[in-house]
Amino acid sequence: MTWKHPSSPVTKKFKVQRSSAKVMATVFWDAKGVILLDILPQSQCINAARYCSTLDRLKEAIRRKRPGLLRRGVVLQHDNATSHSANLTQQWLQRYSWEILPHPPHCPDLAPSDFHLFGPLKHHLGGMAFETEDDLISELRNWFDNLDVDFFRVGINSLLLHWQKCMDLHGDYVEK
């Protein structure tokens, strides 16, 4: 409640537009490009069961796109999110003998998606407005499909440099 003098002007109310809903995308990629782009339905959240379902889709995408990878062995790098470290997820990873690169706490910049992929994506999407969620998803797919293979190779190859910096700093924050 605001106290006003009776002769004070009427406060104008601005029309508030609802902001567009957020879309959560999980991107699995290697030095050759995107293997799986998984869009989370807005009514769902990431938990261990959902993440294992995504890993099932990833395994199928690898079978189709990079069949030799399953024979050589899959190595994932993900952070310490609850859905990644949950028992259900760990059991899934053990069942298929997928290796996980360790991820030190408080080092988000060790994930190539964080230091190489999402920055350029945010720059690309900056200032764009989408009528529907499908329009946004279509733009995401087009952007990933049009990236040069060298973009992905450079991102994966720079992981070694970021890991070395982290080790030199004994696990402290790594700047670009």
17-50 pLDDT tens trace: 555 567 888 999 999 999 999 999 887 889 999 9
Distances (CA, A) of 66 to 1, 50, 63, 93: 63, 23, 6, 18
Model confidence at 6: pLDDT above 70? yes
pTM for the full predicted model: 0.78
Of the pLDDT bands very low, low, confident and very high (cuts 50, 70, 90), residue 106 is low
Residue pair 138/71 in contact (Cβ under 8 Å)? The answer is no
Phi/psi for 41 (5° steps) reads -60, 145
Average pLDDT, the chain: 84
Of the pLDDT bands very low, low, confident and very high (cuts 50, 70, 90), residue 171 is low
Residue pair 79/108 in contact (Cβ under 8 Å)? The answer is yes
Structural domain boundaries of the chain?
24-168
* Tokens read off for 112: 């190539």
Domain 24-168 maps to which CATH number in 2.60.40.10, 3.30.420.10, 3.40.50.170, 3.90.1150.10? Answer: 3.30.420.10
